Structure 1
Amino acid sequence: MHSTTTTTTPPPPPPLPLPQTLDLIHHLLSLLLLSSLTVKSFITRWQILRTKLTHLQITLTQIIDSTHYSENPLLIDLLPTLLSSLTNVQSLLEQCQKKEEHCFGKLRMQSDIDIASSLVSSHLHDLDLLIKSGVLRQSNAIVLSQPGPGSSKEDLGFFVKDLFARLQVGGIEFKKKALDSLLELLKEDEKSAIMVAKEGDMRYLVHLLDSNHLLQVREQAVIVVSILANASDLSRNSVFEEGGLGPLLRVLESGSLGMKEKAAMAIEAITSDPENAWAVSAYGGVAILIDACRSGSPLTQSYAAGSLKNVAPVEDIRVALAEEGGVSVLVHLLSSNNRSAQEKAANCLWILASASENFKNSILQEGALQKLLQLLQGSSNPDTLEHVLRAIYSLSGSVLSIRILSYSTPFLLQLAEIIKHGNPTTQQISASILCNLSIADSNKRLMSGCMGSLVKMMESTKPIGLQETASKALVSLLSIRSNRKELVRDDKSVLKLVQMLDPKNELVCKKFPICVISSILAGGSNGCRKKLVSIGAFLHLQKLSDMDVPGAKKALQRLAGNRLKNIFARTWRE
């Protein structure tokens, strides 16, 4: 029977206290600085490294002068690593002090010195960051509590600096905890985003989005960046100025589902600033956004469509969008069950159709008009209605569109309903569409119920152009006799029209009510004349005619009608 002996690895020695570690580092640094003066090989490289070691010695003196450096957990990790790096430098130095040239392994030695020099630079960067952040002078450096809602700016600023120090200097666990704390801070206090943008190292935060970082760290970083991009103008601009758009587009292209959604949200927020929109093309982002619209999750599709809508006014991006098949993808989104994506796609199509005839034709060829009409019929949401109506208006100038829209009774009835019950914006767009169409008399009769609303719209000074649009739409409907009679029977609307003629009423441009009154009188109805004369139209038109207001004389002649005939007949008899 054989006996086996089990060897156990002794546990690693406990870490030295920070003051003792610092003493060892100082002693080693003094030796290295002295010995580097007598080096025999690679003298130029050692001169560079000696300069860094001198800087390191000064930096460590500043750390010792910091009141609470021994309490900071980041130094517990940093200083032993630094001691190890300096020990390696000592070994290299001893080899280079020998007289013989290192013919064998010369390149290897050069590489080792360069690596050691790079490590010293990295340690210097981390130590400088800790000193500049001020965290080494705080007594609560071990466990830093989350600032409450009533915390001072100083406390909040220190907390943010400490988090970013842990984020940059610490290992993976420090980074995770720092990002967790950052997320908690941003979610609890919206104003903290401004402080994070001011006091935090946004460039490093953006750097964490790169694919060479641990997935969990990237996921947290994307969420933080997305919150900052949406929180305020300052934090959004900070993300963009520190180069955040490019990495966010890469995440949208190849990240996980959750990361793509957060990245798309951030991109939409960044591109909402017209001054940032051009950069999407510079990063090759148009194709990425189109692909996200094509195959992303509902949230990703919505944010990506919003980003395309934001950047569509840029001519270079429109060219790229056409080349990448973006029109087809946007039209397809109109048929999705994603209301937000539908709205943004419709809005983007409106911008594109308004930009050129080529885009307008391309959008029509993809069958967008029919899908827009279906979307309009199936929605009562004011935002959706507005975006869809804008898109329809931009397409309503073509011959084919005019024919389809003019003979679509359900669509025309919905336009009349929106004119009656919509908000000022949707009312104006609906009236603008109506002006572009060649509507049959039968459908004009069906739309007569919105004429009173058009008269009321003529009184509004906002939005700009509403009075003109309403008057043109009203004149179109008044081309048939039954509508003229119906409007005259509406005492309230007729009184409003006459009041608009009053020269003292400066809120309404006179050519609009004059045009409508002329249309009412175009059929030569005595009943219409009498009604208008009885409520003062004649006197107002006479004053406007004397003032040479365009159209006033013609309207006055139409209104006088039989009265002039009677005057001539009486004169003849006499």
Structure 2
Amino acid sequence: IKKAATVVLMLNSPEEEVLAKACDAIYKFASKGDENKVTLLGLGVVEPLFKLVSHEDPLVRRNATMAFGILASNNDVKKLLRELDVTHSVIARLAPEEDIVIHEFASLCLAHMAVEYTSKVQIFEQGGLEPLIRLLSSPDPDVKKNSVECIYHLVQDFQSRAAVRELNAIPPLLDLLKSEYPVVQLLALKTFGIISNDREARIILRENQGLDHLFKILETKEFNDLHVEALAVVANCLEDVDTMQLIQQTGGLKKLLSFAEMSSIPDVQKNAAKAIAKAAYDSENRKILHEEEVEKCLVNLLGTDNDGSKAAAAQAISAMCENLASKDVFGIQGIPQLVQLLSSENEEVKEAAAIALANLTTASPTMENTNLDILSIEPLINVLSAKRDGTIANAATVLTNMATQEPLRLSIQSHGVMNAIVEPLQSTNSMVQSKAALAVAALGCDVDARTEVSLMLLFIFSVVFITFFLK
């Protein structure tokens, strides 16, 4: 047979041998590329093929499922599959008594379909999660890969996340971290990255020695490609004080901080800093991190070449500032580098540095503990014209805090701060306006400054009046 249309017609044959060979031919034709899949779709292959997925003959059923699994990667085919509501029949092919090849391509079909929200709901409501979890223990690596990929898509929905816990999926998912196939390990880690957002899942993960598995991956250089995803899971786990204490007691926290500093992979450093930031939102965690001298690690990360790592480190410093002991350390070691970051061309870095500086200088027992000096003033005044409102508001806060020291206040005034703060005072963002007004109030503490403030306000009111009059 030389034409695909003829093979599609043969799918209606009453002979099982003909059906099996036709399905096999369609599988091979569809495997050659997306263009062939589109051709088959136009020839109406999906509906007759769908009927054969449940055929009583094992060979016909297997070949039809193979063809179905390959075709499902095409978006237009997936759309038709949703309309036909094929998920129930495909899920049925995951039964233990079915051939392992059928398991492979039925799970592949579901993995393709689970990308779409409607299909996620259908697979979950029709009981697809339980057989997929069972197939995580399949002897075939392709079946494992397809099953965990489908589960990864399903757990994006909170109902599936809860069901994964109830169906005891965490132990078999942990076993996949020991797979010899990196793609299987990666998909398992991505799945953990989502389900570990739930506290109950983190408890189960900890009880099943999941942290040991994660740290083994982080300690293995050959698993560099997996380090970013592993750190994302660790970051979620560190939110729990019990987990933090366990990691500290086993020496894992020292390893994590050393790993963050020593890694040459920017995304690894960034995710390590994010893990610290996440953990630092809890007061007990902050104490533990301070005991392990996290400040040294974060200050070192501020000096990396990667903007993402710098921003993440600055965010972690902001979170750690709630601990007064940490705030004192950063006041001495971190401020010079944070001030340098205010001149970065990257707006995210600039904003993260401004927030960290604002937190460091706010509610300090004494401003003398901080390492702010004359050299810090010009970069702060420059960012009052930054693109991000958060950068401007926090820079104004730092200037307000600096103004409590008379030498710094006089120096700030001499750098033309009143001219620079005109634009923030006219911002449409109420927070920026508020912080700018507080800065003006803090800086206008003497006769010369008040005169300058009066002239500035007169200018602003004039502009507002003229604008209103012209309208």
TM-score (normalised: structure 2): 0.71
**What residue number does 1:399 align with?**
287
Mapped pair 1:233 → 2:117: yes
Q: Report the alpha carbon displacement of residue 292 of structure 1 after superposing the two structures with TM.
A: 2.5
**What residue number does 1:82 align with?**
none
**What residue number does 1:290 align with?**
174
What does 1:445-484 align with in structure 2 at a 5 Å threshold?
A: 445=333, 448-454=336-342, 468-473=355-360, 483-484=372-373
The one of 326, 329, 335 aligned to 2:210: 326
- Is the alpha carbon distance of 1:306 and 1:562 closer, same or farther for their aligned partners in structure 2, counting shifts above 3 Å? same
Q: Report the alpha carbon displacement of residue 553 of structure 1 after superposing the two structures with TM.
A: 4.0
Q: Does structure 1 conserve the Cα–Cα contact (< 8 Å) formed by 2:383 and 2:395?
A: no
The one of 63, 83, 92 aligned to 1:207: 92
Q: Report the alpha carbon displacement of residue 293 of structure 1 after superposing the two structures with TM.
A: 2.8
**What residue number does 2:44 align with?**
158
**What residue number does 2:302 align with?**
415
**Root-mean-square deviation (Å):** 4.6
Q: Deviations over 1:184-228 (max 9, x none)?
A: 4234x3432232233262222112222211222222323333333
The one of 391, 402, 407 aligned to 1:525: 407
TM-score (normalised: structure 1): 0.60
Give the counterpart letter for 1:76 in structure 2. Answer: E
The one of 418, 434, 439 aligned to 1:537: 418
Q: Report the alpha carbon displacement of residue 277 of structure 1 after superposing the two structures with TM.
A: 0.9
Q: Report the alpha carbon displacement of residue 439 of structure 1 after superposing the two structures with TM.
A: 6.3
Mapped pair 1:556 → 2:444: yes
Give the counterpart letter for 2:289 in structure 1. Answer: S
Q: Does structure 2 conserve the Cα–Cα contact (< 8 Å) formed by 1:461 and 1:507?
A: no
What does 1:257-272 align with in structure 2 at a 5 Å threshold?
A: 257-272=141-156
The one of 12, 15, 32 aligned to 1:76: 15
**What residue number does 2:246 align with?**
362
Give the counterpart letter for 1:222 in structure 2. Answer: S
Q: Report the alpha carbon displacement of residue 339 of structure 1 after superposing the two structures with TM.
A: 3.7
**What residue number does 1:485 align with?**
374
Give the counterpart letter for 1:75 in structure 2. Answer: P
- Is the alpha carbon distance of 1:473 and 1:278 closer, same or farther for their aligned partners in structure 2, counting shifts above 3 Å? same
- Is the alpha carbon distance of 1:176 and 1:493 closer, same or farther for their aligned partners in structure 2, counting shifts above 3 Å? same
User: SS at 1:300's partner residue?
Assistant: helix
Cα distance in 2 for residues equivalent to 1:545 and 1:227? 50
**What residue number does 1:224 align with?**
109
Give the counterpart letter for 1:243 in structure 2. Answer: G
Cα distance in 1 for residues equivalent to 2:279 and 2:23? 63
Q: Deviations over 1:329-384 (max 9, x none)?
A: 33333323424543233222322332x32233233334332232233234455543
User: SS at 1:278's partner residue?
Assistant: helix
User: SS at 1:158's partner residue?
Assistant: coil
Structure 2: 5+ residue stretches without partners: 1-8, 426-431, 451-471
**What residue number does 1:180 align with?**
66
User: SS at 2:321's partner residue?
Assistant: helix
Give the counterpart letter for 2:99 in structure 1. Answer: L
Percent identity of equivalent pairs: 15
Give the counterpart letter for 2:209 in structure 1. Answer: G
Cα distance in 1 for residues equivalent to 2:388 and 2:232? 35
**What residue number does 2:461 align with?**
none
Cα distance in 2 for residues equivalent to 1:279 and 1:493? 51
- Is the alpha carbon distance of 1:310 and 1:362 closer, same or farther for their aligned partners in structure 2, counting shifts above 3 Å? same
**What residue number does 1:571 align with?**
none
Cα distance in 1 for residues equivalent to 2:25 and 2:391? 70
Count, aligned residues: 418
- Is the alpha carbon distance of 1:73 and 1:272 closer, same or farther for their aligned partners in structure 2, counting shifts above 3 Å? same
**What residue number does 1:24 align with?**
none
Structure 1: 5+ residue stretches without partners: 1-69, 79-129, 131-139, 565-574
